[in-house]
A = this chain, B = another copy of it.
Amino acid sequence: MSRVSSAAIAAALAPDPRSSEPLYRQICERLRRHILNGTFPAGQQIPSSRVLAADLGVSRNTIMNAIEQLIAEGYLEGQPATGTFVTGAIPRALNPSSAAPPAADPRWSSFGQRLDETMARPPRALTKLAPFRPGVGALEVFPFDVWQRLFAAVWRTRSPELLDYGHPAGDLTLRRAIAAYMRIARGLQADADQIVIVSGAQQGIELTARLLVNPGEQVWVEDPGYFGIRTALQLQGSALVPVPVDEAGLDVQRGIAAAPVARLACVAPSHQFPRGVTMTLARRLELLNWAASADAWILEDDYDGEFTLHGHPLQALQGLDGGRRVIYLGTFSKTLFPSLRLAYLVVPPDLVDRFVACKAAVDRQCPVVEQAVLARFIVDGHFARHIRRMRALYADRAEALVASAQRHLAGALTVEAPTAGMHAIGWLEDGRSDEAVSRAAAEQGVVAWPLSSCRFGDAACRPGLVLGFAAYGEAEIDDGIVRLARALESR
């Protein structure tokens, strides 16, 4: 290949004075490109830094830096101060920009193929925080000051252990604090060794299903139910069995009729999403009995069971079972705040080691500092206090929602007074489509998830709206209801 003149090299390297890119980087990039595409062939001498600096009107240091960089990267050989040459070590015809681009089909794995367009859409929770988006608590009254003080106290230790890798099962102090609290508060039968801290409930569902269910095996899921569970299971290739939910919770007999040998049943017995019902004792016992006879596992999703609005929260299914068939999933997304991304699994003792190994294999562990802050928050009593305050606040907000709906929506939408949790169901009274009402509500700036969007079985579904109330003040709730009434009138 013919040699290139010194002047031509300088011209080819001239940086763009209007670019915000540093000169050094511009020159590096041009050098690389011309070497890779063969404009500057192997053995080509590069002019001295003095000459190039003068020709390009840049400092000699800039040129020296660029040349040193390209020597280090293997494009050039020699010494920047004396003579440098294009390396002969670059295989010919290896100009990456001429290589075939990736095929239009990236050849996703079967797993990747299952991530269809529905799942590739951003989760609905991403919509702006506005009435009546469910699944979020009263973030504005979170005890920011307490949390910051605890953060400072933890951070102040400057302990290297705080910054280093931690245990894949999670911070031991936190696991102990959770075990102690949940034993008293919810009758959980578990010690700290059975607890695995995970990055939110979604990861808890995902790890459980991945460890216990093969693709093609059956899993009972509540219908209507929480879409995040369905997503995680569908991705694994599980065969989802929709099991109807009635006033008594998951209808175990219909589950048995549909899939007697399912591997796993996912259930929210304390406060079902979205229906808001509590699973009766009889149904709980039926479910445990079925699991024992079918050698199946139960995933108890207790996403907001702490928030009984009147009276004590109920014993968890895990406690009734003695922790033998039930994997309990608790989260701090509802009790504290979602962006914390901390939740936990309570796992039967024989299963713990592999759950921990699985957590280690998928992302090693959860962040350490946040776990330490949360542990103090619980141990110092702030957690129990916050729950108590939120119970009272949510009871008021639930009442405000029901009352406002009675005032503005009588005959059109009946809001069922919730006994627990952070959302209520509003039943549409005149057979309108909840999807259509939800769209009309969105036009009025109101988030009202259609109940039917939580369905996935074939059975008919009474139309209704899922109305989150916990995150919104009474005035906001009333305003939201007025706008919802407008949406209902407009149809």
**B-contacting residues of A (Cβ < 8 Å)?**
22, 25, 28-29, 32, 36, 65, 68-69, 72-75, 87, 89-91, 94, 96-97, 99-104, 106-112, 115, 119-123, 125-126, 129, 136, 139-140, 142, 144, 147-148, 151-152, 155, 158, 160-168, 184, 187, 198-200, 202-203, 206, 210-214, 217, 228, 231-232, 235, 263, 280-282, 285-286, 288-289, 292-293, 295, 297, 311-312, 314-315, 320-322, 324-325, 337-341, 348, 350-351, 353-354, 356-358, 360-370, 471
Contacts and interface: CB of A to CB of B under 8 A. Distances in A.
B206 A102 contact: no
Contacts of A65: 312
Given A74-B280, A112-B211, A119 B160 contact: no
B325 A102 contact: yes
Contacts of A36: 285
A464 to B, nearest CB: 23
B285 A90 contact: yes
A378 to B, nearest CB: 17
Contact of A102 (B122, B126, B350): B350
A354 B112 contact: yes
Given A96-B321, A126-B167, A341-B363, A160 B184 contact: no
22 contacts: A25-B187, A94-B288, A99-B292, A100-B293, A102-B295, A102-B325, A104-B350, A108-B212, A111-B210, A121-B357, A122-B168, A125-B165, A139-B164, A142-B163, A151-B151, A164-B338, A166-B339, A203-B362, A228-B364, A232-B361, A362-B362, A367-B370
A322 B74 CA distance: 18
A374 B126 CA distance: 22
Contacts of A87: 281
A361 B281 contact: no
A108 to B, nearest CB: 6
Contacts of A341: 363-367
A364 to B, nearest CB: 5
A338 B202 contact: no
A158 B155 CA distance: 20
Contacts of A74: 280-282
Most buried by B among A87, A203, A354: A354
A162 B320 CA distance: 37
Contacts of A321: 96
Given A87-B281, A121-B357, A200-B364, 19 more contacts: A65-B312, A68-B312, A69-B312, A72-B312, A72-B314, A90-B281, A99-B325, A101-B292, A102-B324, A111-B210, A111-B211, A112-B212, A139-B164, A140-B158, A148-B152, A152-B152, A199-B366, A341-B365, A341-B366
A60 B198 CA distance: 41
Contacts of A187: 25, 28-29
Contacts of A22: 184
A96 B285 contact: yes
Contacts of A198: 363
A34 to B, nearest CB: 14
Contacts of A366: 199, 341
Contacts of A311: 68-69, 72
Contacts of A206: 361-363
A287 to B, nearest CB: 10
A106 B72 contact: no
A180 to B, nearest CB: 10
Contacts of A75: 281
A112 B120 CA distance: 26
- 10 interchain residue pairs of minimum CB distance: A339-B368, A74-B281, A163-B337, A94-B285, A99-B292, A120-B357, A203-B363, A112-B211, A139-B160, A199-B363
Nearest to A204: B363
A356 B471 CA distance: 27
A324 B357 contact: no
Contact of A115 (B168, B293, B358, B363): B358
Contact of A353 (B94, B120, B164): B120
Contacts of A295: 102-103, 107
Contacts of A164: 129, 136, 139, 337-339
A326 B60 CA distance: 34
A94 B285 CA distance: 6
Contact of A165 (B210, B292, B338, B362): B338
B199 A123 contact: no
Contact of A163 (B162, B211, B217, B339): B339
A99 to B, nearest CB: 4
